[in-house]
Amino acid sequence: MRDRGPAALGTDTTTVNSTSAIIDLRAVRYSVGGRVIFDDLDMQILPGQVTAVMGPSGTGKTTLLRLITGQAAADAGSIDVGGVAVTRASRSQLYALRQRMGMLFQNGALLTDISVFENVAFPLREHTRLPERLIRQLVLTKLQSVGLRGAAALMPAELSGGMARRVALARAIVMDPQILLYDEPFVGLDPISMGVILRLIRRFNDALGLTSIVVSHDVHEITAVADRVFLLSGGRVVAKGTPQEMRDSPSDVVKQFVGGLADGPVPFHYPASDYFEELLARDGGRYA
Give the pLDDT score at 286. 64
Q: Which residue segment(s) compose the domain that 237 sits in?
A: 6-100+177-279
Question: Is residue 52 situated within a structural domain?
Answer: yes
Question: Is residue 165 situated within a structural domain?
Answer: no
Mean pLDDT of the chain: 83
Kindly report the CATH number assigned to the domain that includes residue 22.
Answer: 3.40.50.300
Rounded CA separation 162/194 (Å): 8
Give the pLDDT score at 243. 86
pLDDT reading at 10 higher than 50? no
Among 40-54, 145-159, 214-228, name the one with the lowest average pLDDT: 214-228
3-state DSSP assignment of residue 267: coil
Question: Is residue 11 situated within a structural domain?
Answer: yes
Top pLDDT among 86 and 220 is at: 86
Give the pLDDT score at 223. 81
Long-range contacts of 151-159 (CB under 8 A, 24+ apart): 151/116, 152/115, 152/116, 152/117, 153/115, 153/116, 153/117, 154/115, 154/116, 155/112, 155/114, 155/115, 155/116, 156/110, 156/111, 156/112, 156/116, 156/119, 157/112, 159/110, 159/116
Q: How far is CA 284 from the centre of its chain?
A: 43
Using CA atoms, how far residue 134 sits from 121, 137, 204, in Å, is: 11, 5, 21
Rounded CA separation 68/80 (Å): 8
Distance between first and last Cα of the chain: 60
Rounded CA separation 265/250 (Å): 13
Q: What is the mean pLDDT of residues 3-7?
A: 40
User: Of 224, 262, 257, 220, whose CA–CA distance to 238 is shortest?
Assistant: 257
Give the pLDDT score at 238. 86
Give the pLDDT score at 13. 40
| pLDDT tens per residue, range 230-266 | 998 888 888 888 888 888 877 777 767 666 656 656 6
Q: For residue 15, what pLDDT band results from cuts at 50, 70 and 90?
A: very low
Q: For residue 2, what pLDDT band results from cuts at 50, 70 and 90?
A: very low
Q: What is the mean pLDDT of residues 135-147?
A: 93
SS3 content of the chain, % helix, strand, coil (to 5): 35, 20, 40
Question: Is residue 241 situated within a structural domain?
Answer: yes
pLDDT reading at 216 higher than 50? yes
Residues paired with 85 in a beta bridge? 80
Question: Is residue 287 situated within a structural domain?
Answer: no
What's the number of domains the chain is made of?
A: 1
Give the pLDDT score at 227. 93
Question: Is residue 157 situated within a structural domain?
Answer: no
pLDDT reading at 288 higher than 60? no
pLDDT reading at 128 higher than 80? yes
Question: Is residue 122 situated within a structural domain?
Answer: no
Question: Is residue 170 situated within a structural domain?
Answer: no
Please, which residues have CB within 8 angstroms of residue 256's CB and are 6 or more apart in sequence?
263, 264, 265, 266
Rounded CA separation 272/230 (Å): 29
DSSP one-letter code for 73: -
pLDDT reading at 52 higher than 90? yes
Answer whether 103's CB lies under 8 Å from 184's CB. Answer: no
pTM attached to this predicted model: 0.80
Q: For residue 49, what pLDDT band results from cuts at 50, 70 and 90?
A: very high
Rounded CA separation 84/96 (Å): 10
Tell me the helices (H) and strands (E) count for the chain, helix number first. Answer: 10, 10
Using CA atoms, how far residue 22 sits from 103, 153, 211, 274, in Å, is: 17, 37, 8, 47
